Structure 1
Amino acid sequence: MTHTYNIAGMTCGKCVAKAKSQLLMLGDVTSADVQLTAPQATITMQKHIPVAKLQDALTKAGNYTITEADGGMHHAAPAEETGSWLETYKPILLIGAYITGATLLIEAINDRFNWHSWMENFMAVFFLVFSFFKLSNLRGFAESYSSYDIIAKRWFGWGYVYPFIELSLGIAYLINFNPVLTNAVTFVVMGISIIGVLQSVLNKRKIQCACLGAVFNLPMSTITIIEDALMIAMSGVMLLMML
């Protein structure tokens, strides 16, 4: 069932992100579309949630007041897939293929394939490309990221810092800057990042993945888990090879 509401007190994108994050934390909420224009919240839930409970959740986000809009409920057919799995994830699959292909070509011109060198190049290009998409709409990324990341939920500014961390890691891998430190930072940062992703996927929350910023509307799925896990695994392997 889907309900529409008005939320008083929101004045900016940060307010929207905080309100959305708290609503999505409610167990029976499967999706929440929050915006500054009325009706300001369209919430899909597994079973009816009283307005009082929604208000309690929003109080944790700020001085916001929620009321039903136009009777509150409208009947909507269950959302259908707009395309196949391949069509949905085509952008991230193409990017992954380009990064893999380009870095394999770099190794192909050498006399001998070097796994360590390939992983360094792969991670350099990966972080540079993914940070580009996040930085192309920094505010949009921060708002989306705050809906599931464990740090961004508590500190909205983390969504503004994270893309620059990815950019810095990409440059560090590219110039081979202090490999032990670079891989250690990657292992910790991506290890923290994957927690929120796992929570969202396991709880079957239908939210937008922020891996490509706000440029592509990709749903959170096991693809995101694989992406983060790959970075954790590569940085971990390289750390073991150097220690």
Structure 2
Amino acid sequence: MPILRLKTNLRCKACVVKITPVFDAAAGITHWSADIDSPDKVLTVEGPEITRAQVENLLRLLDYEILAVLNDQPAPGESAGDKPTTYYPLFLVLAYLAGGSLLLEAGMIHTGGAWNSMRLMRHFMAGFFLIFSFFKLLNLQAFADAYEGYDIVARRWPFWGMLYPWVELGLGISYLAHFLPVATYAITLLVMSVSSIGVVQTVLARRTIRCACLGTVFNLPMSTVTIVEDLLMVAMAAGMLWMTWG
């Protein structure tokens, strides 16, 4: 069951007393608690389909607010270990992308064309961003909540979590249409480099949280696998820029 851990401005016991009847009566919340002794004044909320937006609306009714999404604990019963089966959806998607890109390139060669590494990478990047944005957009609010828990930009400006999947979708379309290639490669390099910073920080801090790279449909733990995935996209974007200018 999903658990949200939120940094709030609940300062004292009176604040907790004030929110108690509202949270006790709220539909969709099965359990909640507030730790006003912690530096982050952590509010923990559990529910089958609970989202940051729902909790935020309840707090705003009482003149309180969410300062950040922490979510550094997995929900009970969810494993966040580096088990191959945990990453099966991610590996499967990447295998499909690699296989599909190679088949497209083989088709080009079969019809009389020559091997083209740039075209191969462009097809892979197009598929990557289109597929990954699709899974994020299945539940945009849930993705934004999870993304805010570790991304350095979304943590400061939460709207970036809502915008990010659309940026990925735009990049996917640009790669597919070969539209403004240099600008597309440069934006990819910037976006993925910044995104990887939060991932690296989270892994180095040994925080056990869900990776939102495939949205919140799958329970993918944040680990070195996620770092490799992000840095692979950074390297490919940098390589395509170098090949274009070289």
Residue identity opposite 1:107 in structure 2: E
Counting only pairs closer than 5 Å after superposition, residues 171-190 of structure 1 correspond to structure 2 as 171-190=173-192
Task: Identify which of 209, 212, 223 aligns with 1:207.
Answer: 209
Runs of 4+ with deviation above 3 angstroms: 54-58, 61-65, 78-84
Between the aligned partners of 2:137 and 2:5, the Cα distance in structure 1 is 18
Please name the residue that 1:140 is paired with.
142
Q: CA deviation at 1:110?
A: 2.3
Counterpart check, 1:98 vs 2:96: yes
State the Cα distance separating 1:118 from its structure 2 match: 0.3
SS at match of 1:89: helix
1:1-243 residue pairs with structure 2 within 5 A?
18-19=6-7, 37=29, 39-41=31-33, 51-54=36-39, 56=41, 63=64, 85-111=83-109, 112-243=114-245
Unaligned 5+ runs, structure 2:
9-25, 44-55, 67-75
For residues 179-230 of structure 1, the C-alpha deviation after alignment (integer angstroms, 9 at most, x for no partner) is: 1000000000001000000000010100000000011011101111111101
SS of residue matched to 1:212: strand
**Residues in 2 aligned to 1:115 and 1:156: alpha-carbon distance in whole angstroms:** 37
- Larger helix proportion, structure 1 or 2? 2
Question: Kindly tell me: are residues 127 and 147 of structure 1, through their superposed partners in 2, closer, same or farther at Cα, counting changes over 3 Å?
Answer: same
User: How large is the RMSD of aligned CA atoms in angstroms?
Assistant: 3.0
> Aligned equivalents of 1:200 and 1:85: distance in 2?
18
State the AA in 2 paired with 1:154.
R
Structure 1, residues 108-157: CA drift from partner, whole Å, max 9, x if none? 12233211100000000000000000001101100100000001111111
Give the number of equivalent residue pairs. Answer: 194
Give TM-score, length-normalised by structure 2.
0.71
Distance of 1:181 and 1:82 partners within structure 2: 37
Checking the alignment, whether the CA contact within 8 Å between 1:17 and 1:143 is kept in structure 2 is no
Q: Give 5+ residue unaligned stretches, structure 1.
A: 1-15, 21-34, 43-49, 66-77
Contact 2:146 2:212 survives alignment (8 Å): yes
Three-state SS of the structure 2 residue aligned to 1:53 is coil
CA distance in 1, matches of 2:5, 2:29: 14
